[in-house]
Structure formats: C-alpha cells, structure tokens
Amino acid sequence: MIYSFMLAILVGLLKWFQWKFLIVDNAIDIYIGLIAVFFTLLGIWIATQLTRPRVEKVIVEKEIFVPITDEFTINKTELDKLNLTKREYEILQLITKGHSNADIASLLFLSLSTVKTHTSNLFVKMNVKRRTQAIEKAKRLQIVE
C-alpha cells in the first residue's frame, strides 16, 4: 500500500517534471538529480522498513556456582561388608529413624520377639552393643540416610 502510494506520488512528480522541463529546458539535469536523490532516500527508507533488524546473537557464558545437591548416596561398599540381610537392613533403617522395637514390630507386622532377634543379630554383625551405637555407625559409614 505504501509502495502504491509512492507510485502515485511518482506519477504526480513525473507530470510536474514534464511540465517543468517544457518551461525551463536547461534545468533538466537538476530535476533528474533531485529525482535521483529522492528515490535513493525512498529506497533507503523502504529498505529500513522492509528489512528486519539484523540481530547477531553473541552468547556470553555467565558462570553460576551451584552447590552440589546434597543427594544422599549410600556407601554400598561398607554396606556389603556388613553382610546384612534384607530384614536386618530394613530394621536398621527404622532404628535410625528413632523407632522402638515395638514400633518396628507394628510397622513390619512382626512380633516383638522377631524384631528383637533381628536387632540382636544386626548388632553382632555391626559389632555394636546398643542401637544408639548402630545409629552412629550407620550414619558414619553412610549406609543409611
């Protein structure tokens, strides 16, 4: 639309210049020059309108120091050394969470006797005498969270 409008102006200008050079024949160079300048500017204007601004992206890396997420990973080596059974390890985990033997019996649907048997065997394997020592050792060896 803008361009067609420009063409309209162009036509008008042509008529005007045509009339002009009939009057002043020698001034034709000047008019042509003016046309040249005008259309050059028009071209520049069109170009700036049509061409999207060329954007050159320069990627700048900004270093951000992030503390390693304190993901707990069990020390499998140490855990294997202890040679605990599934049940024993399960019970150890509950012990470290502060559960009593009675609690554990309820949680695992076992009798108190069974839990006591497991804990006793567990302590022998861990080479500790009390559950509090088991907790301390388990946390130190990183075999529980």
Nearer to a second copy, 17 or 79 (CB): 17
Which residues have C-beta within 8 Å of that of residue 122, sequence separation ≥ 6? 84, 88, 91, 92, 134
Residue 118 to residue 129: CA distance in whole angstroms: 14
Which tokens hold the place of 145? Answer: 């969270």
By the criterion CB under 8 A, which residues form the site for a second copy?
A: 10, 14, 17-18, 21, 28-29, 32-33, 35-48, 50-51, 53-68, 70, 95-100, 128, 130-137, 139
Nearer to DNA, 20 or 125 (CB): 125
**Minimum distance from CB of 52 to a second copy (Å)?**
8
* Partner from DNA, a second copy, none contacting 123, C-beta within 5 to 8 A by type: DNA
* Partner from a second copy, DNA, none contacting 86, C-beta within 5 to 8 A by type: DNA
By the criterion CB under 7 A, which residues form the site for DNA?
A: 83, 85-88, 100-102, 108, 110-114, 116-120, 123-124, 129-132, 134
Q: Cα torsion at 111, 112, 116, 119 (round to 10°)?
A: 80
Residue 75 to residue 72: CA distance in whole angstroms: 9
- Burial of residue 110 (CB within 10 Å: 0-12, 13-18, 19+) is middle
**Minimum distance from CB of 85 to a second copy (Å)?**
21
* Partner from a second copy, DNA, none contacting 35, C-beta within 5 to 8 A by type: a second copy
